[in-house]
Amino acid sequence: MNTITTIIKDPNRIIYQNNIPKSHLSDGLQLKYGQAELLVYPVTTAEVSQIVQYAYSKGINITTRGAGTNLVGSTIPNGGIIIDLSLMNTIVELDKETFTITVQPGILLQDLQQWVEKQDLFYPPDPGAKNATIGGNISTNAGGMRAVKYGVTRDYVQAIEVVMADGSVLNFGSKNVKDNTGLSLKHLFIGSEGTLGIITQCTLKLIAKPKAFETLIIGFKSIDLAIANITTILQTLTPTALEFVERQVAQWGERYSGFQFPLPNAQAYLIVMLDGADHQTILQQRQQLLANLTDCEHFIAETVEQASQIWAVRGSLVRAVEAVTEQDPIDIVVPINKIADFIHYTKQLEAKTGVRMLAFGHAGDGNIHLCLLRDGREQAQWQRLLEQVHCALYLKCHQLGGLPSAEHGIGTAKVNYFKQAIPEDNRQLMQAIKQQFDRKNILNNQVYILQI
Amino acid sequence: MNTITTIIKDPNRIIYQNNIPKSHLSDGLQLKYGQAELLVYPVTTAEVSQIVQYAYSKGINITTRGAGTNLVGSTIPNGGIIIDLSLMNTIVELDKETFTITVQPGILLQDLQQWVEKQDLFYPPDPGAKNATIGGNISTNAGGMRAVKYGVTRDYVQAIEVVMADGSVLNFGSKNVKDNTGLSLKHLFIGSEGTLGIITQCTLKLIAKPKAFETLIIGFKSIDLAIANITTILQTLTPTALEFVERQVAQWGERYSGFQFPLPNAQAYLIVMLDGADHQTILQQRQQLLANLTDCEHFIAETVEQASQIWAVRGSLVRAVEAVTEQDPIDIVVPINKIADFIHYTKQLEAKTGVRMLAFGHAGDGNIHLCLLRDGREQAQWQRLLEQVHCALYLKCHQLGGLPSAEHGIGTAKVNYFKQAIPEDNRQLMQAIKQQFDRKNILNNQVYILQI
Do A235 and B408 lie within an 8 Å CB cutoff? no
B236-247 pLDDT per residue, tens = 889 999 999 999
Burial string for A398-424 (b: 16+ CB within 10 Å, else e) reads bebbbbbbbbbbbbbbbbbbbbebbee
Distance CA B248, CA A35 (A): 69
Q: Which residues in chain A are contacts of B98 at CB distance < 8 A?
A: 335-337
Distance CA B294, CA A379 (A): 69
pLDDT for res B122: 96
Q: Is A115 exposed, middle or buried (0-12, 13-18, 19+ CB in 10 A)?
A: middle
pLDDT for res A42: 98
Do A237 and B208 lie within an 8 Å CB cutoff? yes
- B359: Cβ contacts below 8 Å, ≥ 6 apart: B246, B249, B343, B346, B368, B369, B370
A53-79 pLDDT per residue, tens = 999 999 999 999 999 999 999 999 999
Which A residues, 161 through 190, put their C-beta within 8 Å of a C-beta on chain B? 164, 168, 170-172, 174-185, 187-188, 190
Nearest CA in chain A to B277: A237
Confidence tier at B231 by pLDDT (50, 70, 90):
confident
For B140, which of A180, A418, A448 is closest by C-beta distance? Answer: A180
A92-110 pLDDT per residue, tens = 999 999 999 999 999 999 9
For A188, which of B172, B187, B402 is closest by C-beta distance? Answer: B187
Domain locations in chain A as residue ranges = 2-86, 91-208, 212-318, 325-412
Distance CA B29, CA B71 (A): 6
Bridge-based pairing state of the strands B14-16 and B268-276 = unpaired
Q: Which of B174-178, B291-295, B383-387, B430-434 has the lowest mean pLDDT?
A: B291-295
DSSP A108: B
In this model, does residue A277 exceed pLDDT 90? no
For A187, which of B188, B236, B364 is closest by C-beta distance? Answer: B188
pLDDT for res B252: 95
Nearest CA in chain A to B284: A281
Do B333 and A176 lie within an 8 Å CB cutoff? yes
Residue A408 near chain B (CB below 8 Å): yes
A137-190 pLDDT per residue, tens = 999 999 999 999 999 999 999 999 999 999 999 999 999 999 999 999 999 999
Q: Is A353 exposed, middle or buried (0-12, 13-18, 19+ CB in 10 A)?
A: middle
Q: Do domains A2-86 and A212-318 have the same CATH topology?
A: no
Q: Provide the phi-psi class of A167: left if phi over 0, else alpha when psi is between -120 and 50, else beta.
A: left
Q: Which residues in chain B are contacts of A235 at CB distance < 8 A?
A: 208
DSSP H or E stretch at residue A161: strand A157-163
Confidence tier at A449 by pLDDT (50, 70, 90):
confident
Q: Residue by residue, what is the 3-state secondary structure of A319-383?
A: HHHHCCCCEEEEEEECCHHHHHHHHHHHHHHHHHHCCCEEEEEEHHHCEEEEEEECCCCCHHHHH
pLDDT for res B278: 84
Q: Which residues in chain A are contacts of B140 at CB distance < 8 A?
A: 180
Chosen CATH of B212-318 out of 3.40.190.10, 2.40.128.520, 3.30.70.2190, 3.40.50.10210? 3.30.70.2190
Residue A355 · residue A331 · CB < 8 Å: no
Distance CA A200, CA A170 (A): 10
Residue B316 · residue B358 · CB < 8 Å: no
Residue B145 near chain A (CB below 8 Å): no
Q: Is B10 exposed, middle or buried (0-12, 13-18, 19+ CB in 10 A)?
A: exposed
How would DSSP label each residue in B25-66?
A: GS-TT-S---B-SEEE---SHHHHHHHHHHHHHHT--EEEES
Q: How far is A403 from chain B (nearest CA, A)?
A: 7
Confidence tier at B449 by pLDDT (50, 70, 90):
confident
Instruction: Name the 3-class secondary structure at A399.
Output: helix
Residue A403 near chain B (CB below 8 Å): yes
Q: How much is the CA Rg of chain B, to the nearest whole Å?
A: 22
Distance CA B224, CA B262 (A): 20
Q: CATH for A2-86?
A: 3.30.43.10
Residue B352 · residue B396 · CB < 8 Å: no
Nearest CA in chain A to B184: A188
For A277, which of B208, B237, B422 is closest by C-beta distance? Answer: B237
> Of A155, A99, A282, A112, whose CA–CA distance to B235 is shortest?
A99
Residue A448 · residue B207 · CB < 8 Å: no
Q: Which residues in chain B are contacts of A336 at CB distance < 8 A?
A: 97-99, 177
Residue A446 · residue A434 · CB < 8 Å: no
Confidence tier at B382 by pLDDT (50, 70, 90):
very high
Quick one: CATH architecture of B325-409?
2-Layer Sandwich (3.30)
In this model, does residue B277 exceed pLDDT 90? no
A345-387 pLDDT per residue, tens = 999 999 999 999 999 889 899 999 999 999 999 999 999 999 9
pLDDT for res A97: 93
Instruction: Kindly report the average pLDDT of chain A as a whole number.
Output: 95
Which A residues, 12 through 51, put their C-beta within 8 Å of a C-beta on chain B? none
- B289: Cβ contacts below 8 Å, ≥ 6 apart: B216, B233, B236, B237, B239, B272, B274
Q: How far is B335 from chain A (nearest CA, A)?
A: 5
Confidence tier at B5 by pLDDT (50, 70, 90):
very high
Residue A135 near chain B (CB below 8 Å): no
> Of B87, B80, B83, B70, whose CA–CA distance to B29 is shortest?
B70
Chosen CATH of B91-208 out of 3.30.465.10, 3.90.180.10, 3.40.50.150, 3.40.50.1580? 3.30.465.10
Distance CA A51, CA A42 (A): 9
Kindly state the average pLDDT of the residues A200-224.
95
Residue B292 near chain A (CB below 8 Å): no
pLDDT for res B284: 87
DSSP H or E stretch at residue A117: helix A109-118
CA distances from B70 to A425, B75, B194, B323, B411 (A): 30, 7, 12, 19, 9
Do A208 and B235 lie within an 8 Å CB cutoff? yes
Kindly state the average pLDDT of the residues A30-38.
96
Residue A232 near chain B (CB below 8 Å): no
pLDDT for res A237: 87
Q: Which residues in chain A are contacts of B362 at CB distance < 8 A?
A: 178
Instruction: Kindly report the average pLDDT of chain B as a whole number.
Output: 95
* ipTM value for the complex: 0.96
The sign of the CA dihedral A177, A181, A186, A187 is positive
In this model, does residue B168 exceed pLDDT 80? yes
Q: How far is B60 from chain A (nearest CA, A)?
A: 23
Q: Is B11 exposed, middle or buried (0-12, 13-18, 19+ CB in 10 A)?
A: exposed
Residue A428 near chain B (CB below 8 Å): no
DSSP H or E stretch at residue A251: helix A247-257
Kindly state the average pLDDT of the residues B112-120.
97
Do A402 and B176 lie within an 8 Å CB cutoff? yes
Confidence tier at A231 by pLDDT (50, 70, 90):
confident
pLDDT for res A278: 84
